Amino acid sequence: MSNSAIPYNYISIEGNIGTGKTSFCKAMQDEYNCKLVLETFNDNPFLPLFYKDPQRYAFTVELFFMTERHKQLQNHLLSQDLFFDFTVSDYYFSKTLLFARNNLEEEEFRLFQKLYTVLNQTFPKPDLLVYFHRNVDILMENIKKRNREFEKDITRDYLIQIQNSYFEYFRNILSFPVVILDLGEIDFVNNPKAFHEVKSILTKKHNPGVHRMTLVM
């Protein structure tokens, strides 16, 4: 276990598809006595159908994601666990609304937003949100490397749309700190020094609002 203190109770690691969010969170669990909350996207039976026919399956896939995320976060965030020092998650519940806004038609999104607003009322905001940013070409390469069947139809344009949705959302966050971290091509999974550099950002106190950083190795 690491001796470097983490001054946050609840940390969300966010980012586009293929940035390395989940790998980093798992590495944090190896390093610290933290509770790990990972999104179970593999359980969404509509995801492969959505990537093939987005217009037809968008509402179904987003509704499934929202209810599963809500159930998971209720179980992990709304009850104190004295056995762990802090919680780290590879998503933030607001991700639900960002993807839905990008994927749904206007009428569908209005209905979806009403449901989201009701479900989101009970959740605490993260004490720190770190957004992993990588160039879309790097994301496409990472997606290709991990070779998940249901991701093979993801396009560059779709990733750019998701990226823009995140950046638009961050502009309005003033109540908790958001660190937008440009990782470039750095592989923190196989490079312990790179992992240490990313991890050190989580040990520092950040003021509320958006902070931009670039990881240089």
The helix (H) or strand (E) run that includes residue 34 is strand 34-37
Task: Give the C-alpha separation, 164 to 180, whole Å.
Answer: 13
- Cα angle 184-18-53, degrees, rounded to a multiple of 5: 135
Full set of structural domains in the chain with CATH: 10-214 (3.40.50.300)
pLDDT per residue as tens digits for the range 52-93: 898 999 999 999 999 999 999 988 887 767 889 999 999 999
- Buried-state track 40-49, b at ≥16 Cβ within 10 A, e below 16: ebeebebbbe
Beta bridge partners, 213, equal: 181
- Report the C-alpha gap between 203 and 201 in whole angstroms: 5
Indicate the SS3 state at residue 123: coil
57 touches 46 (CB < 8 A):
yes
For every one of its 217 residues, what pLDDT tens digit does the chain have, with 9 covering 90 and above?
554 689 999 999 999 999 999 999 999 999 999 999 999 877 788 888 998 898 999 999 999 999 999 999 988 887 767 889 999 999 999 999 999 999 999 999 999 999 999 999 888 899 999 999 999 999 999 999 999 888 888 999 999 999 999 999 999 999 999 999 999 999 888 899 999 999 999 999 999 999 999 998 7
Res 2: pLDDT? 54
Q: What is the pTM of this model?
A: 0.91
